[in-house]
Structure 1
Amino acid sequence: MNGEHAGDGTGGEEGRRWVERTRRDLEDGADATIVCFGDSITAGYAVRRGFPSFWQELLRQRFPDSKIEMINSGLSGDTSLDGLARLDWVVLSYEPDLVTINFGINDCVLGLGLEDFEINLVEMVRRIRAGPNSEILLLSSQPLETPPYDRMVLDYYQAVERVAEEVDAGFVDVYAAWMRRVQAGASLSSFILPGLDHPNEAGYRIIAEELMRLF
């Protein structure tokens, strides 16, 4: 997980091109609709505010003349297969300007194979482009505190990056963003809800800040 697909980490000119249309609209003061699609990491399990809430706040500060509608279509427990089943009404029906896609941990834990996982992600992208043709960002998720599970889920995060390369979509390396904080001296546990292996609000803020590097 090196984030090279999106330039320097997530930011840089290479990364910014994935959201060029949406960013230009916001700079012009136009309205924008963003759908955050995924599992409990997107939904914001057991916290008051997840990354979509922090991200919307940061976008509104950056683009005060635009009305930014942020729709959280995360659902706890979802695999990529579950996501495909509800894609039409929780993503396509909003005709969004931008979609973030964030699956992987449940696919790993429930034993959905990597090949099937990648096929499902590719199909999501295909259907979004065939419908509203939204700009698309594929997201990895955070490190896990239990080393064996962390190693297992990393295979799925790397699969997300491969799919982004294959379909020519943006890749936001959430795992790398967290690890930069850890390598700088923060403890991983300071970003995770105790015993749950889900982000706390400090962890979610990292994701929102990483997304803002594209804007």
Structure 2
Amino acid sequence: MFIREKIMQKNRNCHQYPSPTIVFLGDSITHGCFELYEGKDKNIEVNFDFEAVYHSQFRKMINNFFPYASLNIINSGISGDTAQNGWLRLERDVLKFNPDLVVICYGLNDSNRGKEGLDEYIGSLFNIFSVLKKNKIEVIFMTPNMKNTYISPMLIGDKIIEMAKFNMESQMSGIFDLYIENAKGLCEKENIVICDGYDKWKKLYGMGVDTTRLLSNLINHPTREMHKLFAWLLFEMIML
């Protein structure tokens, strides 16, 4: 990937070359959301941790090995977002930064719409990919983590438990798998690089790992440790 050479150029001569810019476009995972809890009036509140989110961990990895290659990391993740919303805000939250690379991660919220929302999801990803390719911007599609496979007894609050049931249904019914398979099919057709985090989660699940316990909210937000998995997958794909 060209971004690899730009990082290495910056590290070799930080005075001559500009800092590479990478935009991360996605939902709550990219935003930096972790635990959920009931707040005032029993509304669902969220804990944010912008140091632990995967793109922050990725930057730390780059800095460890290439200390002169300062990166401009733009967090364009929004909690609750969908691919369609990402497409609608592409100019404001992505293109205006003139990025060298855009990492896109969608599917968690999109898949909660069931089979009826699949065409919109794929169409929105296609629109995003097309504009970025037209602007000669490199693209990586990062598949998200699995959702909860059961309702944890540690969950507290009717709204949170209802949210868990909703997400579990899309995971265990195969709907989420369908979304990811179609997204990967689109990427292969459009020559978009895939960073397949979902595949790693599925393999862990297949080995008997309790992947629900790897979710900080026990529903759909990975733990801080699992954000490191996404960071490493990106680092390995780009730099190794």
- TM class, shorter-chain normalised? 0.7 to 0.9
User: Aligned match of 1:113 in 114, 117, 120?
Assistant: 117
Q: Are 2:4 and 1:23 aligned? A: yes
- Answer yes or no: is the 8 Å Cα contact 2:108–2:220 preserved in 1: no
Flag structure 2 segments of 5+ consecutive residues without an equivalent. Answer: 12-16, 35-47, 150-167
Q: Within the alignment, does 1:62 sit opposite 2:43 as a pair?
A: no
Tell me what 1:127 maps to.
Answer: 131
What one-letter code is carried by the residue in structure 2 that aligns with 1:56?
Answer: R
- In the alignment, which residue of structure 1 is the partner of 2:99? 96
Task: Give the CA deviation at 1:64.
Answer: 1.3
SS at match of 1:127: helix
Amino acid at match of 2:3: T
TM-superposed CA distance for 1:115, in Å, is: 1.9
- 1:168 and 2:156 are equivalent in the alignment: no
- TM-score scaled by structure 1? 0.84
Q: Which residue pairs with 1:40 in the alignment?
A: 28
Higher relative contact order (CA 8 A, sep 6+): 1
Structure index of larger Rg: 2
SS of the aligned residue for 2:146 comes to: coil
For each residue in 1:112-158, what CA deviation from the matched residue of structure 2 results, as whole angstroms up to 9, or x when unmatched?
Answer: 52222111111101111223x21100111111222542222111111
Question: SS of 2:225's equivalent?
Answer: helix
3-state SS, counterpart of residue 96 of structure 1: coil
1:81 maps to which of 79, 84, 95? 84
**Structure 1 segments of 4+ aligned residues over 3 angstroms from their partners:** 179-187
Describe the SS at the equivalent of 2:180. helix
Residue 85 of structure 1 deviates from its aligned partner by 1.0
Q: Is the 8 A contact 2:147 2:219 kept in 1?
A: no
Identity of aligned residues (%): 26
TM-score using structure 2 length = 0.75
**What residue identity is the alignment partner of 1:25?**
K
Cα deviation 1:85-114 (Å, max 9, x = unaligned):
111011001111110111112111134522
Moved more, 199-208 or 148-157: 148-157
Q: Number of matched residues?
A: 195
Q: How does 1:141-180 map to 2 (within 5 A)?
A: 141-146=144-149, 148-150=169-171, 151-180=174-203
Alignment partner of 1:99: what SS?
strand
Letter in 2 for 1:77: G
Secondary structure at the counterpart of residue 171 of structure 1: strand
Paired residue secondary structure (1:209): helix
Quote the residue 1:4 is aligned against: none
Distance 1:189 1:39 in 2: 19
Match of 1:139 among 131, 142, 157: 142
